[in-house]
Structure 1
Amino acid sequence: MSEQNTTAAAEFNATTELSIKDANKVAAGALIGTALEWYDFFLFSAAAALIFNVQYFTNENATAAALASFATFGVGLAARPIGGLIFGRMGDKLGRRRVLLITIIGIGVVTGLIGLLPTYAAIGFAAPALLVLLRILQGLFVGGEWSGAMTLVVENAPLHLRARYAAIPQIGSPIGTILSSGGFFIMTLVFSQDNFNSFGWRIPFLIALPLLIVAVYLRSRLEESPVFRQLEESGEVEKSPISTTLRDSWKQVIVGMAAALLGVGGFYLVTAFCVWYGVNILGYDDSLLLLGSMVAAFVEIFVLIWGGALGAKYGASKVVLWGGVASALVSVPAFLLFVTGQPVLIILAMTLAVGTLSLPYAASGTVMTGLFPANTRYTGVGMSQNAAGMLSGFIPLLATGFVASAGDHWWPAAAMLAFLSLFTAFAGIIAPKLSVDLPGFKH
């Protein structure tokens, strides 16, 4: 029996006695953590479009300032693969639960520090330099957070329900969007534009600190994955998870990255880029676009639940495939609605685009965890997700550049969304051929 078949057998044995009650408890704890993770991360996304280009990157050219701000946004995502390697290795050697406590504390503390950071006007070039440093640290911790939460949830769920439970940590993304966009939206209503730019934007960042206390309390009560405990008891914990993954599962890493790319990169395109494009090029009010982000995120929650149910019934890879196709088909209509200038149609455009790309996002966690054996899963999932995250971080930057070169027309952004959609759809075709064979698990 091959080593991969051995670990698959150990995983099957470890999951046969899992109960729905235990799975629900772990999924709820992971959801709280991922919601805080994405709240912190999307705060930076919104601030990059609305604040950092003004307060930390001074330039008379609005597009140049936006490029610098989005580049800082991208730098944090570029740090994610390094964090994924560091914490993925720890998670495969020491356990999922311990590492998830470290990552959530790091994310919360860094976000609070961003809220306290002086601006360019106060300390000069040190301000953007420190902002970049904090963004890199945030990216490192986020690099180990999502993959660990997804791995822990999947390994605590009955095999036949993994797709349904794997969609639950994904709901942290729209919840984080609602909280972050909602925080900025409320600040724009409470404060004048000058006061918002001066100090109002800092409040949502500082709120991350009390939220962190709640998240740490809930995370500390989670049990370790029974799959990892089985690996420990049988002496099959991988000693070199990084080298083993690169040697034996490099194809899986590429396919997993492709499966995740639309859900991450497409989302940044529809939110971070469209917020900047709407405010600075089309002259829309920033509160309208923040409201659009919140409505789209609210609808996304239900799409993710639906996508998880579809994955459990028909197979996660099929959801990735057809969800990607659907997203490609709506890319141009969504942007046509977005540029109409009509508030209802603008919000509908953002909701339509986010809703369709959320279908493959709902199933991407199931696909990725199914690509790797248990003894290297944390590392492999982290490599896949963070490679997608690194590429996605530069999508608002690329979209800004392409649209500027096209005379500020929207079509290059729509073409990017369609390309990302089809790239992810292709992963849905390839993934079943490379996945770990687990009885009762639908790929």
Structure 2
Amino acid sequence: MVLGRNEADNVLQEQGRQQRKQVRRAAVASAIGTTIEWYDFFLYNTAAALIFPHLFFPASSSYAGAMQSFATYAVGFAARPVGAAIFGHWGDRIGRKATLIVTLLMMGIASGLVGVLPGAATIGIAAPLLLVALRLIQGIAIGGEWSGSVLLAMEWGNQRKRGLLGSFAQIGVPVGLVLGTGGMTLLSAVLSDASFSSWGWRIPFLASLVLVAVGLVIRLRILETPMFAKIVAQQRTSRSPVSDAIKHHWREILLSAGLRFSEQMPFYLYTSYVLVYVVAQHHYSKTFVLNAVLLGAALELALILWFSQLSDQLGRKRVYLTGAVLTGVLAFPYFAILKNGGMVIIFIAIVVAMIPHAMQYGPQAALIGESFPTHLRYGGAGLGYQLASVFAGGPAPLLATWLLHVTGTPYSISAYVVFSAAVTIVCVALLKDRSRADISDDTVYLRARSVAR
């Protein structure tokens, strides 16, 4: 009998070790996968501000070229909900792992092709058209990537640490920003302006192909999440998961989109549009602004993990709302500094602006993911997250460029930021906080649906 107990204990210990190993692998795969995809995405953002206007729209004025370049930037955001719907269907049908491998390949190949794309001087109108097509592919891939990466970590680990585990997908954003912007910063510093504009900017895009190979190796070693595997074993997957998510959880989808306004829209102003504004306003070097963005992203890397862990202790909504309020409060001081400040205080402002974003972006993954049942979570969470891209992130640099041109003052952009904070505060207040709820079983959701019928 004693031997039997020892054998049972050994089996349990081995199961525990395997579980912990898969949790670690899932967290690493989640972080590295999103890092690679966001590295590619931020490369495009930086190039859209610094390179693409004169390379793909050489006949346009400075203002028109910036508008056209940021329009191609916005196209990728418009494609994200499409990607969320396409890959949300398969993620809730065949699983998280297989779907994420496809999104990683799409993103990497599209970015590699941007790196070899000739300019308008070589192939004429075909150049911007091909750029838009590749941007669409990038947007579709990113649209399908986020929710799968979040669920890969969140559905594997300790459910009392969902905020922290979900944030491993979120840290891919600042790490990708550090790598992408850092690569551009290094090249712009060591190369002449002519060399950087001619061929130097292409090197980071081509390097993404190597990173994709690394990401594939890691993701291929991960098992399917236990929560989704249980749904498959019980034959409870939905035939039309995206349609079912829209039908039964449309409120959560819309609120998830709305709560992202004060996180996403200012972020793309502070990491992309700021490159154009500060250089034009003060004639500082591109490297100066890139260095400030780079340091802010490095700071955010640590803060995302900390605020996410804090949300496990204090609740998602409390931490998230604090970040949204700070975003609105700092909007006017931020642009006042960019307009009137000196080099040092502008540098500090660009860095500090990342703090309210980290307060929201860290807990955001769990806050959205917890709002949907397991069998509809990939599609439902993905749609909610990516819909904000159409109305908040994508148009932000474009609208900021237009607002400054029409009003002549950056404070019109500040008002735009305050509006985004107000939208977020309302949506977070209306969304149920499930920070401490058990999401490992769909029983509660299925019972609620049966009652509703």
Normalised TM-score (structure 2): 0.90
Matching residue of 1:360: 360
Q: What displacement does 1:433 show? A: 6.2
Distance 1:169 1:437 in 2: 21
Matching residue of 2:125: 125
Matching residue of 1:336: 336
Per-residue displacement from partner, 1:96-147 (whole Å, max 9, x unpaired)? 0000000001101110000000001111111000000000011111110111
Matching residue of 1:157: 157
The answer to whether the 8 Å contact 1:367/1:431 transfers is no
Per-residue displacement from partner, 1:344-364 (whole Å, max 9, x unpaired)? 212211112121122111111
The answer to whether the 8 Å contact 1:320/1:424 transfers is no
Matching residue of 1:64: 64
Note the 1:5-404 alignment, pairs <5 A: 19-391=19-391, 392-404=393-405
Q: What displacement does 1:343 show? A: 2.4
Distance 1:312 1:96 in 2: 24
Matching residue of 2:444: none
Report the CA distance shift for 1:117/1:80 in structure 2 as closer, same or farther (over 3 A): same
Distance 2:327 2:349 in 1: 12
Q: What displacement does 1:51 show? A: 0.5
Matching residue of 2:428: 428
Q: Which has the larger radius of gyration?
A: 2
Distance 1:218 1:242 in 2: 28
Q: Secondary structure of the equivalent of 2:432?
A: helix
Identity %: 34
Distance 1:293 1:105 in 2: 28
Per-residue displacement from partner, 1:362-419 (whole Å, max 9, x unpaired)? 1111111011100100001110111012221111101110111112x21112222222
Report the CA distance shift for 1:410/1:91 in structure 2 as closer, same or farther (over 3 A): same
Distance 2:18 2:248 in 1: 29
Q: Secondary structure of the equivalent of 1:368?
A: helix
Which letter maps to 1:402? L
Distance 2:434 2:64 in 1: 43
Structure 1, unaligned runs of 5 or more: 1-15
Q: What displacement does 1:195 show? A: 0.9
Distance 2:421 2:151 in 1: 25
The answer to whether the 8 Å contact 2:87/2:99 transfers is yes
Distance 1:48 1:35 in 2: 20
Distance 1:84 1:171 in 2: 20
Q: What displacement does 1:157 show? A: 1.7
Q: What displacement does 1:340 show? A: 3.4
* Runs of 4+ in structure 1 over 6 Å off: 433-436
Which letter maps to 1:122? T
Distance 1:180 1:52 in 2: 16
Aligned residues: 425
The answer to whether structure 1 residue 419 and structure 2 residue 419 are counterparts is yes
Q: What displacement does 1:183 show? A: 0.7
The answer to whether the 8 Å contact 2:275/2:290 transfers is yes
Distance 1:266 1:164 in 2: 23
Report the CA distance shift for 1:201/1:41 in structure 2 as closer, same or farther (over 3 A): same
Distance 2:270 2:124 in 1: 32
The answer to whether the 8 Å contact 2:71/2:398 transfers is yes
Matching residue of 2:8: none
Q: Report the more deviating stretch, 372-381 or 429-438.
A: 429-438
Q: Secondary structure of the equivalent of 1:339?
A: helix
Q: Report the more deviating stretch, 193-202 or 18-27.
A: 18-27
Q: Secondary structure of the equivalent of 2:58?
A: coil
The answer to whether the 8 Å contact 1:371/1:435 transfers is no
Q: What displacement does 1:283 show? A: 2.0
Q: What displacement does 1:427 show? A: 2.5
The answer to whether the 8 Å contact 2:315/2:433 transfers is no
The answer to whether the 8 Å contact 2:367/2:433 transfers is no
Report the CA distance shift for 1:239/1:194 in structure 2 as closer, same or farther (over 3 A): same
The answer to whether the 8 Å contact 2:253/2:383 transfers is yes
Distance 1:337 1:44 in 2: 27
Q: What displacement does 1:280 show? A: 2.6
Q: Secondary structure of the equivalent of 1:58?
A: coil
Distance 2:281 2:334 in 1: 17
Distance 1:222 1:439 in 2: 21
Matching residue of 1:11: none
The root-mean-square deviation of aligned C-alpha atoms, in Å, is 1.9
Q: What displacement does 1:436 show? A: 10
Per-residue displacement from partner, 1:304-355 (whole Å, max 9, x unpaired)? 0111111100111221111111111112222222223522212211112121
The answer to whether the 8 Å contact 2:180/2:204 transfers is yes
Matching residue of 1:13: none
Q: What displacement does 1:165 show? A: 0.9
Which letter maps to 2:216? V
Which letter maps to 2:78? A
Distance 2:346 2:234 in 1: 56
Matching residue of 2:407: 406
Structure 2, unaligned runs of 5 or more: 1-15, 442-453
Which letter maps to 2:404? V
Which letter maps to 1:211? L
The answer to whether the 8 Å contact 2:43/2:180 transfers is yes
Distance 1:27 1:426 in 2: 31
The answer to whether the 8 Å contact 2:316/2:435 transfers is no
Q: Secondary structure of the equivalent of 2:154?
A: helix
Distance 2:426 2:325 in 1: 9
